[in-house]
């Protein structure tokens, strides 16, 4: 074969290889776009399935936490009053409250305790708002769930509730799981009330306490 013929063969082979490379790249691009479209469609489907339920749960946690602030305030910030074995709460009032000061000891709870008690309220009372997800079950949803477990954090301006709630949602051929919900509600007034009570207690002695209206701290 002449030198010119060899060059021609190399050119033809090069063109063929280039064409194959272009076809491979184009095919890979199409497959990638198709896969991306499938994934986006799946994500949209999951979002459509979970979004209303997630919003419903978040709303229930928020409203239950607000109720918890009011209800716990009736018991000096506690959901369950401390064991009275050490005289840490009253026993003979219409609505018993915890002592913030007794036997020369300051007993007012920490911010962590206040927040934790509201979290306990949420865990115990959330089911009333969720109503076993009956509204969604009537729409064809199959929903199963475990008991909630919440943590609370109280700052100067807000109360944050982090609730772990394992939920499995099924509808038609779609299935998704939810697990964690974070809700923040305004709590500036609640925080200020705690700080005022703390300041009052810290500046009083046993003689001063004798004339204090115990239930006033729980209103």
Does residue 16 sit within a domain? no
Alpha carbons within 13 angstroms on the beta-carbon side of residue 128 total 11
Does residue 68 sit within a domain? yes
What is the average pLDDT across 204-209?
58
Q: What's the confidence (pLDDT) of residue 102?
A: 77
Using alpha carbons, list the distances in angstroms from residue 61 to 12, 165, 185: 71, 11, 10
Q: What's the confidence (pLDDT) of residue 41?
A: 46
Q: What's the confidence (pLDDT) of residue 42?
A: 45
**pLDDT tens for each residue of 73-122:** 988 899 988 876 466 677 666 667 787 877 778 888 999 999 999 999 99
Domain count, the chain: 1
Which percentage of the chain shows pLDDT scores above 90? 48
Does residue 44 sit within a domain? no
Q: What's the confidence (pLDDT) of residue 144?
A: 95
Backbone angles phi, psi at 212, to 5 degrees: -90, 140
Does residue 21 sit within a domain? no
What is the average pLDDT across 146-173?
95
What is the average pLDDT across 17-24?
62
Q: What's the confidence (pLDDT) of residue 7?
A: 52
Model confidence at 40, pLDDT cuts 50, 70, 90, reads very low
Does residue 65 sit within a domain? yes
pTM over 0.75: no
Which percentage of the chain shows pLDDT scores above 70? 66
Q: Report the chain's mean pLDDT, rounded to a whole number.
A: 80
Does residue 28 sit within a domain? no
Question: Per the structure block, which two tokens stand in for 190?
Answer: 């609640």
Q: What's the confidence (pLDDT) of residue 39?
A: 47
What is the average pLDDT across 10-19?
59
Question: Per the structure block, which two tokens stand in for 208?
Answer: 């001063």
Does residue 30 sit within a domain? no
**pLDDT tens for each residue of 45-59:** 456 788 999 999 999
Residue 179: domain span: 51-218
Q: What helix, strand, coil percent values describe the chain, rounded to 5?
A: 55, 20, 25
């Amino acid at each position: 074969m002449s030198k010119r013929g060899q060059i021609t063969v190399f050119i033809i082979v090069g063109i063929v290889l280039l064409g194959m490379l272009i076809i491979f790249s184009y095919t890979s691009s199409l497959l990638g776009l198709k896969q991306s479209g499938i994934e986006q469609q799946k994500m949209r489907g999951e979002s459509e399935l979970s979004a209303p339920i997630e919003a419903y749960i978040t709303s229930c946690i928020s409203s239950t936490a607000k109720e918890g602030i009011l209800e716990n305030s009736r018991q000096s910030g506690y959901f369950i009053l401390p064991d009275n074995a050490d005289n840490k709460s009253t026993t003979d009032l219409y609505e018993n409250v915890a002592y913030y000061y007794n036997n020369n000891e300051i007993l007012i709870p920490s911010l962590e305790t206040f927040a934790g008690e509201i979290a306990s309220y949420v865990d115990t009372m959330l089911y009333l708002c969720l109503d076993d997800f009956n509204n969604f079950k009537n729409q064809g949803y199959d929903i199963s769930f475990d008991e909630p477990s919440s943590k609370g954090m109280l700052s100067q301006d807000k109360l944050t509730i982090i609730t772990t709630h394992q939920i499995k949602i099924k509808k038609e051929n779609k299935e998704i799981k939810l697990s964690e919900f974070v809700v923040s509600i305004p709590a500036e007034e609640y925080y200020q009330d705690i700080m005022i009570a703390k300041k009052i207690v810290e500046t009083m002695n046993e003689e001063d306490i004798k004339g204090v209206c115990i239930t006033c701290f729980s209103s």
